[in-house]
Structure formats: C-alpha cells, structure tokens
Amino acid sequence: MLDLLIYLSCGLSAGIVGGYLGLGGGIIMVPFMTLLMGIDIKTAVPVSMSAIVVNSISASNEYMKKNMVDVELGLILAVFTVLGYITGSYLSDIIPGDYIKLLFSVVLLYTAFSFIRKKKNNLEAPQPVGRGTYLFVSVFVTFLTGIIAALIGIGGGIIIIPVLFLVLNLPLTVVRGTWSFTYGFAAAASTAVYLINDRIDLALVPPIIVGIIIGGKIGGWLGTMAKPRAVKIAFFILLIYTAFKLAYGPLTGML
C-alpha cells in the first residue's frame, strides 16, 4: 500500500511540473524511480515513457481549452523530432559523447541567460506558424534538437521550448502548450517499441498513470495562468541544472 502511494505521488508530481512547464515529466519520474525506489534505469525509462504519453494528453487538453496549442506546428514538431531521435541514435556510435555534452552545456548556459533576459508578453495572441520562415525554422530546430537529445540522453522539451520562444518569437504559453501536445507522439512511438519488446513493467504503470493524469490536469491548468516571469525563472533553473549535470562527468574525467 505504501509503495502504491509513493508511485502515485511520483506520477502526481511529474504531472504537475511537466504540465506547468510543458515538459513530459521524465525529468521527475526517472530520478524518482532510480534514486528513491532503487529501480533499474532500464525498467524506469520505459515506465516513464508510457506515463509521458498520458501526461501529454492530460496537460495539452488544458492548453487546448484556452486556445494555446498550435496543432499544425505541433504535428510538424512531432514528425521531425522523431526523425531527429532516430538520426541521433545512429550517430551516437560515431560522435564522442563527452565532447557533445561539454559543447551543449555551453549552449544551454547561453540559452538560459538569453531566455531570462528576453521580454515577451505571454498573453498576446498566437502568431500563425507552420508556413514560410516559421516552417523552415521549426523543421530545422526540432530535427537538430531530436539529434542532440538522443546523443546526450535528455528530453527534447528542455531545448525546444526556450529555442522556439527565442527564435520564432512565439508567446511562451503557446510554445509550452504546443510542446505538451507534441511530445506525446514521440513518447507513444517509444512506448510501442518497448511494448513490442516486453520492456514495460506493467505492475508499476497503473499508480503512476493515475497520478500523472491528475497532476497533468492540475499542471496544465496552472500553466495556462502562469506568469511569464515565473515560467522563465523555472526554466532558467532547469537549464542551469541540466548544463551542470551534462558537464560534470566529462570535466571530472579530464581533471
């Protein structure tokens, strides 16, 4: 019974944080299961991925109610993110991981400070996207992000949301709402592969799913009302933390 409540809490917290920021919640679930519950990461990741699909549906539904999801852009992001993940998976055997992590840490630091400095009204109407320059930039950014995410093993949202906000000049809420709709497609593809290969521990899934459905609704609802400054600060902290986490291993190995 205690374990059930713990896994329920895991899904709930991941859903709230993920829904609020427009992320999948894997950044909460995987460390929770591996560090606190002692579950092997090869078991934790497939469970997390299946829960992310549900979180996408739960959170994006709240953003859709407020017309904060650009479905056209979301579908473009989904296709090219998946293609980027596939490409990155093949390149991972060729490109040294430590050099990528160090380089990307610098990029994340630059993005974090650019993100926090940029002034943008989160309440302005969504701009039309998916055509012309927006289409080209969206395809390029998401494909490259998918490659990088696969190479260094992190979720694409931590990269895509700040970059699309900075490059496409879209309202922050629309970017988060659109990505919350998008990441479910990539997670669903991964979940299907895990299911086919019998990699998902079905005993762990139900309580986490229940928690993430509730948490995703709460997080998505909070996200639609979030002040841009608060979201920027949360992303700034997350970007700095991710940059540190990526650089720590390679730097200590060099010293």
Number of structural domains, the chain? Answer: 1
- In this prediction, residue 10 has a pLDDT band, given cuts at 50, 70 and 90, of very high
Residues 110-158: tens digit of each pLDDT = 888 888 887 654 444 444 444 566 677 778 888 888 787 777 666 678 8
pLDDT digits (tens, 9 = 90+) for 181-195: 998 887 888 888 888
In contact, 130 and 141? CB cutoff 8 Å: no
Smallest CA-to-CA distance from 61 within 228, 219, 253 is with 219
Question: Bigger pLDDT: 133 or 65?
Answer: 65
Average pLDDT over residues 96-104: 76
In the predicted structure, residue 36 carries a pLDDT above the cut 90: no
Mean pLDDT of 173-177: 90
What per-residue string of b and e applies to 23-32 under the rule 16 or more CB within 10 Å gives b? bbbbbbbbeb
HSE at residue 96, side-chain half, CA atoms within 13 A, is 5
Cα–Cα nearest to 5, from 221, 201, 213, 206: 206
What pTM was computed for the model?
0.82
pLDDT in the model for residue 128: 47
b or e along 92-126 (b: 16 or more beta carbons within 10 Å of the residue's beta carbon)?
Answer: eeeeeeeebbbebbeebbebbeebbeeebebeeeb
Find, among 65, 174, 10, the residue nearest to 160 by Cα: 174
Supply the mean pLDDT for the chain. Answer: 83
Identify the domain containing residue 53 by its residue range: 2-254
CB 239 within 8 A of CB 123: no
pLDDT at 242: 85
pLDDT at 129: 44
Looking up tokens 């490259």, which residue turns up?
A: 144
